[in-house]
Structure 1
Amino acid sequence: MNRDDIAARIDHTVLGPETTLADVKSILDDADEWGMNACIPPCYVAEANEYAPDVLLASVVGFPHGQNTTVAKREEAVDAWQAGADELDMVINVGRLKAGDDEAVTEDISEVVAAVPIPVKVIIETALLTEEEKHRACEAAAEADAAFVKTSTGFADGGATVEDVELMVDYLPVKASGGVGSYADALAMFEAGAERIGASSGVEIVSGAPEE
């Protein structure tokens, strides 16, 4: 897997609570230079789309805790899509899942998926889930016709692991996110079956990959 192959599968990310438009533009500059995608807060999507129209742009829904109402998530998704987002990463309602209300979790995802004509990746926050809950979360995402399942927001105590990717890949394409900081880390995730990587260290990952 060469540098160009890796770059196209990296969502170069800035989502912290202090993120400024200047931070977003820096991420977009990196993404444009290295051939990566970008993942940014929804409040900057319109400006980002105008600033870097050639960069594949992802944004987030219900981020980072997933406890927004389904109506709010749906409206947030539509707003981001209309502003220029090419993909959306939404957070499941972890509390509903842990309570055993899988129907509500599935419906929450389904409403967002149905509201927009762009891919929706479902963040299940693996660090907070038991193995059995991870399976149920992935089943909900698959039943709701999501495009991907994603490991983590990066805001819980833990991120992507090879074991989680191997579990999740049986359901949908996987985006591994959280703690992936080097080419070696990314390669391990790809070898486990991940299709996409979400990382704030996109440049470090891509620059560490073989050029040919």
Structure 2
Amino acid sequence: MHSAHGATHPTPPPAGGVASAVRPGEAADGESRPAPAHDGEGPDAGPPAVVAQDGGRAQAKRRRGLPAPARLAVLGVAAVVLGTATVGVQMWDRSQWVAERYPAEDVREVRAGEPVSWSGMRWSVEVTRVPRPNGKPGRVMLQVTVELTPEEQKAIEDFLQPTIELRDTTGRSWVTIVPSEGSVYRGDLKVGETARMTAYGVVPEELEKTAKVALVYSSASGSDVLLFSR
């Protein structure tokens, strides 16, 4: 304020003192001062020791899981279950493949040399050993003669030449070859007259007297087998 004599006097400080005009965190002389440490006595804060202690327990609760032995046990069980499932799928795939490749058989077993009615015809077989020049040691060649006699005309109309196999008692089988001159066709058949098929197969020498002859008719749903045992 200017006096009447023109002298200049400083403006008095506002009410409340100098501190009321200073920004928080700044000293009255204009220099920065560090903020006072929080003493934990505000309305929303509890004692520092209590806060730290409670927070530690909360973190421990959140982090605490299964004990190490229990975790190992769970992992072990999971591995066993996964392995079992994998093996089960593989076994199912294998069994499915076998079922598709080798359909179920409906087997009728009879004695070789005895005629039997089957699919509208009478069948009988005879097995003999034949020479096998330059053959592998321990193997023998067998000639299979199949006699078939149609019992009705429909059997001739439906006739298909069966596959001829040689088998042992364990289920192993050996294919045979039927040469063209040993084959039978529908035109060769007449009701009541006997026709002959001739097939050749090679088996281990020990099966010369015991190899079974299987006449096989296969379809998508399975196989019909007439098995002649010896």
Bin the TM-score by the shorter chain: under 0.3
Higher relative contact order by CA 8 Å / sep ≥ 6: 1 or 2?
A: 1
Relative to the length of structure 2, the TM-score reads 0.23
The structure with the larger Rg is: 2
Relative to the length of structure 1, the TM-score reads 0.24
